[in-house]
Structure 1
Amino acid sequence: MEDVISHEQECALARRTITPSDLAEWQNIAFDDASRFGDVRAFIGPTEAEAWPLKFKRLTFVDSRNPSANCKCFALSTDHKLLAASFESCELLVWRDNLLVQRLFYQGHTDHVSSLSFSPVDHALASGSIDTTVIIWNTRLGNHFMRLGGHDGPVRRIAHTPRGTLIATAVDNKSVKIWDASNGAFLHSFDVSDRINGLTFSPDDSRLLVQLVDSCVLYDVHTHTHIDGLHHGLATLFAGSMSHQGDRVVTGPGSSGQVKIWSAVTGEELLTIGHRRNLANPLIFSPDDTEVLASCYEDETVAAYDSWTGEPRRVYSISQRAFRMAYSPDAHYVALLARDGGLQVHDTKSGAFLAKFESGEQSRDNKEIRFSSDNQTVLTYFPRGLLALYNIRDVLRLR
């Protein structure tokens, strides 16, 4: 059965052609040999300890002009139909349906691309660079139509509001700028106290969560006012995540301690969650925001808690500490990336182990893990390795 699935994957790739309708919508699209299947091992069984190995193919994304180059940043469009990435260069690659590629470079950046963000409304792509500029690209035509200048250093973070009205950019000098996404007009800026690790807008476009090394900052982008700072005492390597409804923020330390949930509107502390072995980041809300996941630093498990009461719900066992985690959009699965780079998938109702995939990378270097909108594939990003897609449906067919 493993060989059958591998054959199906390779045939699907071989049969894909570029149609006249593809070219009508994407003028410069090509295959470009930028999507490649590679062999890894997967494991299935009733538990991780009892799992047996299988042959498995994952899809990796590379720059065919420099296949050994590492992926430095990536972005998924809101509908998950487009994937953009840059590989230690001034160029950007945009994949459609994981296979067809549009290469963006004409009159573009003069130094490496360092951050990417898709607009949620028109598939426009914003790219930030070491050259201190942001370029807005038309991904269908393959050209750019706007530049955002005035940054004092490399642009490390970019985020669009969920409604596509605003763009936030962050640079190394600990400052954030807000722009009008429709015309590129600079609106305002503000400074923060430490290096910026993340930018997240609330669903109504009104508030911005700025994740710093040791705290989080809530900012009202309409009134240009600082709402509050979210702190964990002397905690370092701080992590924070906004709920999908945008009404709460969960935060936690990098090593061990307590998890806190805050109001994203006022900055008020709402709940503290403790654990006998202490909790740590990563931290995420479930798709319906009713529970939060936290890594248990000392006993190498991941615990799910009711996000309103703090009551424990279930525990996921994992061989080593989880460094990244993600729910599937339908909340049926949770994917956990362990210290050794193993990607584990569990059932969220029972907590049961379903499958494990070898990555060949250490997860301490992992930057992100995401489920696609079809709930069947998981995208992992290793800055020192490959950008890779795992189809969990194919493995679960073998259980």
Structure 2
Amino acid sequence: MAVLWHCQEVTETRTVGAVRQGSLRELNLAVVLRRIASTTRPPSRAEIAADTGLTRATVSAVVDDLIAGRLVTEADPAPRTGAGRPARGLLLGGTGPAGLGLEVNVDYLAACVVDLTGAVRHHEVRRIDLRPLSPADALTGLVDLAGRARAAADDAGLTLAGAALAVPGLVDARGLVRLAPNLGWRDVDVPGLLAGHPALTDPVDGVPPLVVENEANLAALGELHARPGGPESFLHVSGEIGIGAGIVLDGALFRGSRGWSGELGHVPVDPGGPTCRCGARGCLETYAGQEAVLAAAGLAGADLPADTAARRLADLAGSGDPAALAALRAAGTALGVAVAGVVNLLDLDTVVLGGGYATLAQWLCPPVLAELDDRVLTSGWSPVTVRPAALGAESAAVGGAGSVVRRIIARPSGWLSRPQ
């Protein structure tokens, strides 16, 4: 399967003072595994020793531990071109730990499994309008989906080492969903509601069993790691019934002082505009959210899931339907107004359109770019790139699962020390 993210870089680690033997082993495991994860060409033991400054004996011992723990596997050697035995390259293993990515959105539940190589090994979406359901009932449905994902992981020889749950709302550090206006959730204790269900994952030291995060943030992380060598700073806009944004600055997610950054859908584009579900007036969602665009295209009340709605709009726009084209042009204009403010404030050079917007990028990009050209102070000599997301509508769940796997790569000793 295709690799959907890569470890961005090997972080050089320096120690000060005496280091205990156990700590030194933990450090060496992390250095070697990150080196293997950071390259597209499988490195040999000798190359790792040369790159890291570790002795060949140390690298060999560390690699043996990583192979025994199913974190690393050996590649077939290249054909010999000279004297001596060809060295075998080292690859991340595809039958060891995996991350579980979960998503609760307004009209669907999703679960996916991503292995250590970044390949998506399982992905399932259940279409359901969650607005009439209580949070407890919605999460019960998610647990059922997670159970099927776990069974698929077991069948593939994978062990789920942690889970990340994406929610379209404001989430605090404890996993409490303070507000998800499009779901009608307020102060929902997601970890508490899930505590009464069977564990979703196996315990691994250093990996939280469950992280609850804003869906746009996890989508942005998924995009960051889906494009090795891509921009280190960008705005990822997830457009579905709600509109959220993940902000990546210098390769790191910017959450804000309380972790609630990125609520782009509630940035006003017209102070006298229609009332939003949040109670304010003229929010971007009332102009460029899925329901607003469908209504403008003559599809009000169609009650379509996010991906189906995007495909329906794309089909209509592709056939030249005047109402659909006008609706997308108006949505793109409103989106461009809001995004221009973010670009002016943060000096970003890339805007990524995710969720349903990825499918509609062909029609949304021109009006968004037109507004950026008109409104961004530096556009004359430093134009902004606007493009669809690499992962499309799957980015939040895949980004969540990938965040679990990257924790293991950063600290493999936790996985290796788990009870067998």
TM-score by shorter chain over 0.5 = no
Normalised by the size of structure 2, how large is the TM-score? 0.28
Larger radius of gyration: 2
Q: Which has the higher contact order (CA 8 A, sep 6+)?
A: 2
TM-score (norm 1): 0.29
Structure in which a larger fraction of residues adopt helix: 2
Q: As a proportion of its length, which structure holds more strand?
A: 1
